[in-house]
Amino acid sequence: MSTLYITHSDCFLHEMGEWHPESPARLTTIETALRDAGLWDQMIHRQAPEVNPEHIARVHGEDYLQHLVSHAPQTGYYALDADTTMNPHTLTAARRAAGAGVLAVDEVMAGRAQRVFCAVRPPGHHATPHAAMGFCFYNNIAIAAAYAVDVMGLQRVAVIDFDVHHGNGTEDMLAGNPAMLMCSFYQHPFYPGRHHEPPADNMINVPVPAGTDGATLREVVATSWLPALQDFQPQLVFISAGFDAHRQETLAQLNMEEADYAWITEQLVQVANASAQGRIISMLEGGYHLTALGNSVVAHVKPLITL
């Protein structure tokens, strides 16, 4: 079964200033790394459409969506918070990023693909129902997960988040929904400084301290995530794929290696093969050290193609 790679040139146009780590160079680095690893030509490539507004509205409030539109600049920048800024291309890029997730659901549910990696930006997992934050505008993964349940009729969808930061926005949108299971680990205390006690039974949160290594995080996956996933029997697995827990990352202090990302992905492939007909949709979140990002994406995508 095919593995899709979804992106769009509009995702390169969003930028928040030359100083900002969430830069278009991230996507260039990923493409180069996948080409160098011989994986690029093993995937089918699709262009992300702009998302239908009704899909965004399942998880975001109308007042917030109107706020974004009314403050989108024609030139220059508009800062929504200290590190989340719009330029004239931001909302188009964000609509493409969210549209990639919806397209991915359509493709795997139609049987035209089994696995998907969405190389899109801006990322999404910090965006809450009513606010942008943490480089995020629309919550791409939550939009796609809600679409899978509300439109495609799936009864059990899992969302896995291995970004170094707590996916607070995704949690806000999915907590308490019996059709969803969210599993995550993240550095704590750390940005976004939110609660770390699970707000609902369908949230498997595992905060870990700075300096935690890959072996410890594998144990977290083995003892916390996998039993919950095996009990839940997801029909589709989503991954918020942030690579900023890598030991080379300068914006965080966890110590994962490429082999750890490969191992986690392999475990999730096994889960998906057991109950979800192998269906996995992975969407890019963080990862700002470019060398580490490229190498980690290769380690993550290879099992999506080969297993």
- Over residues 71-105, the pLDDT tens digits come to 999 999 999 999 999 999 999 999 999 999 999 99
pLDDT > 80? residue 56: yes
pTM for this model (two decimals): 0.98
pLDDT-derived band at 271 (thresholds 50, 70, 90) equals very high
**What pLDDT sits at residue 194?**
79
**What pLDDT sits at residue 197?**
78
pLDDT in tens, 128-142: 999 999 999 999 999
pLDDT > 80? residue 195: no
Residue spans of the domains in the chain: they are: 3-306
Using N-to-C axis directions, what is the helix angle for 258-275 and 290-306, rounded to 10°?
Answer: 30
pLDDT in tens, 140-153: 999 999 999 999 99
Q: Contact 248/290 with Cβ under 8 angstroms?
A: no
pLDDT-derived band at 262 (thresholds 50, 70, 90) equals very high
CATH fold, domain 3-306, is Arginase; Chain A (3.40.800)
Catalytic residues: 126
Strands 44-47 and 3-7: parallel
**What pLDDT sits at residue 33?**
99
